[in-house]
Structure 1
Amino acid sequence: LGKFITKGETREKAFSQMIETLNRTAISGPATNLQFLKALLQHPLIEQSAVTTAFCETHTNELISASENAKENVPFQLIIAAYLFHKFLTEEPHSVNPWTAIGFWNVLNETELYLSGISYNVPFSLLSPRFLKSGNKPLEKNIPKDATLFKFDWNGENFIAGAKRTSSDSVKICTEEYSETLIINDTEPEKTGIFLQGIEFFVENQELIENNQNHSHNETQNDSMENNLIVSHLHGKITDIQTTPGQIINKGETVLIIESMKSEIHVLAPKTAKVKSIGVKVGEQVQENKPLITLEKI
């Protein structure tokens, strides 16, 4: 059993505080009456104080129906965003970073996941913080400057989200329309419970799928490694070079950064080697397959 007590300067504020408390409550496992209580608090007659002690008895079916429908009305894109951030876009333990898991040539990644028993392929990629300065006022207003910014496609729609970890088990997700804190429950290896508005949803399958665009680069990538060349696999502008001729670089280390489609792409060393020469400079526009850095054996 649990008991919540909230207070406010007005009845409306106290009710609002109680609904917010119920939304932030996460109970996994047994069935609860959280949604029933929310439906009760949001009923027009309750808000008007036009009730008697027999209200729940006379409105039972209506309240149960409202509580059951609550799960269908949540913004599911926030659940997808929280899952992507938690599993792929942070360096938390047991998470997978797509830039190191797949390789430096990837611009767009894709994962197949299951939400409420339905399978979705969700492409996603990081965005540069400078994207917030592109004139999108709702994004600038809602997304904190220190949030991780990314875009993803889900259910035929495109979304841009900012994510920030607020505790070890909670993430704040912000979009143009919403700003919500979601609680994450990683109790099972391949199933993640995500609470939104007091409702638990399960997301399964965290296997990354290489974007079709990447397959066309496999042959080029293999050839470039054999020729000791690091080449560009996308169109973009060189914004930073993090190595110099003669320097020893380790496999997986960032050697330069390319800005493409408002995303910052970290180009990683394909192997441990010595930098022989650098064929580009900061500010230069590069095309696909442009040689960037020549390597030599140590």
Structure 2
Amino acid sequence: MNLLIANRGEIALRIQRTARRMGISTVAVYSQHDSSAQHVLQADEAVLLPGESLAETYLNIEAILAAAKKTSATAIHPGYGFLSENPLFSEACEREGILFVGPSADSVRAMGNKIAARAVAVKLGVPVTNGITGVPEVLLKNHANVGFPMLIKAAAGGGGKGMRIVRTEEELASALETTSREALNYFGDGTIYIERFVENPRHIEVQVLGDKHGNMVHLFERECSAQRRHQKIVEEAPSPTLTPEVREKMCNSAVILASSIGYYSAGTIEFLVDSELNYFFLEMNTRIQVEHPVTEMTTGVDLVEEQLRIATGEPLRLKQQDLKQTGHAIECRIYAENPANNFMPSPGFINLYHEPYGPQIRVDSMEIAGSGQIHSFFDPMIGKLITRGETREEARLRMITALENYAIQGIHTNISFLVGMMHHPSFIENTITTRYIDDHLETLIEFAESLKSSLTPEVPLLAGFMKSLAAKREISENIWQTIGYWRSIQQPEVVMDGKSFRIKILKNRNEHLHFMLGETEGEAVLTSANMQSKLRLNGISHLIYMGEDEKGRFPVTYKGFGFLVERPDMAGPENVSFAETGIMNIDSGNIVSPMPGRVLKIMVSEGEEVSKGQVLMVVEAMKMENNILCPKDGVVDKLLVKEGDMVDGSARLVQLE
């Protein structure tokens, strides 16, 4: 077999690992934006997909088939997302005589489309919620029987893309239009679906595996209730919510649903579960899931290997009575985003990247080699961190340790937020429902900040300071270039996260600092190896991760939290920049973009009076629509961009009078 992987990033690398172990050669495809990505470098062959947009590259069936023919690929694995649930893709593979590693096109049509899948569930007696499908105009006229609150989602999609909750009539028209546009953009189909929204549900799903000979098994369930923006960020197996009786009933329902359509390959049946443990069929994902590792780590089954074997016609090697779930696994998705800014995507350059490692710790990631670029063209997920323990508590504690040693600098990530989640009583006591994070975001962010505040601040402060002492800088010809710039100021000002400190240097030699900080005298020794450093402060060692950014500042990661250390006496003009969130430059009245992206829609005109909080335009980044809000009352003097423009982070968008 010569396997083309029609995907990118961590899932492409994940599939490559299993293929390599099985002796299968691999072909990568890539766009011009990720030509140096690890999934390209680690493949046996790689083919460039011409074009810029997703529609021209990873969603282009003809281009991917051309790549397969060019490399004599005999099979294609779609991964997840992109074309993985497009029946036209699997049919095209069949026409070309290429093995599709996934279900049949008929199965995808029956269960991959949410409306068709619900019809199957209703016929089999599996509980569902009421709902209808169509284009925005039709749904606007015929939504009365659904009622509010309602959930709007892409009929052909998944992964939380194109999904909104609407609670009032006034919100409906705009939400239908936006969701349909997102669905068309990401899945190539603008059809949307509305259903009655179940308040405060759990999201629990069952992994199934079937072959081409009619055999079907389940590999138990995963709970994925911790979500933001309708996308999962923490998953675990087994579910800590279900009783054995409900678990058995739900897993049996999943097998019945999948078996009824002759399903083969890996698939997932998703359910909503209310507070009384009543469950309702949500959808079937006819592909491998992002969160499949927690199932693998609790069952010992390599789901990608089983997919490959099933695709070639092998009968299922697994028997239901032999499958067991042992231990507990937790997965945290690592995203390039800013939780404090409503999870705004944070593309940009990573100047330090370090993954944790150790027993019962697994990382499925883009495998950034020390540094790399996160583009605004793609989903913001960098990778997945998975830990296993004999108990949920053991897995949780191991996850905390692993997160504390996952260091990414240069962009915002959700790592510190996840550290807070793992410590928070809501996770420990298993009270999280699908709306919990969105409804309690401010509280959760404050909780994470309190954890950061409880750390010993001298550790990152002194680490960054000592890094600054050792930094080699080109300073105009003077004596300090010879004897060391730090000697020019024996009690320099050091700023950490905006707070000023004075550190008196008593002695500094060979990374050994004798200092005074306030009224406290101490000693610190800094040793570094690759990206890891150890600071021994007054006899106690602390593991940290340090870098230096393009502005001459020293980011320090300590126990999963980021600190920024600066030396004002070493600052240059390059330290001046736009505000981090990019809302407004107060002096000029410019409203700037908070991230690179594409101007999707402009909502105002020049000369129009606008008010604080009003949506001025929509900027699309990482396949998510982000509203640009007006920061104050005023009048639009000038629009500096037009719809369709690509903009950089901090690009000027609107000039207010």
The TM-score, its normalising length taken from structure 1, stands at 0.50
Choose between structure 1 and 2 for higher RCO, CA contacts under 8 A separated by at least 6 residues.
1
The TM-score, its normalising length taken from structure 2, stands at 0.25
- Tell me which structure has the larger Cα radius of gyration: 2
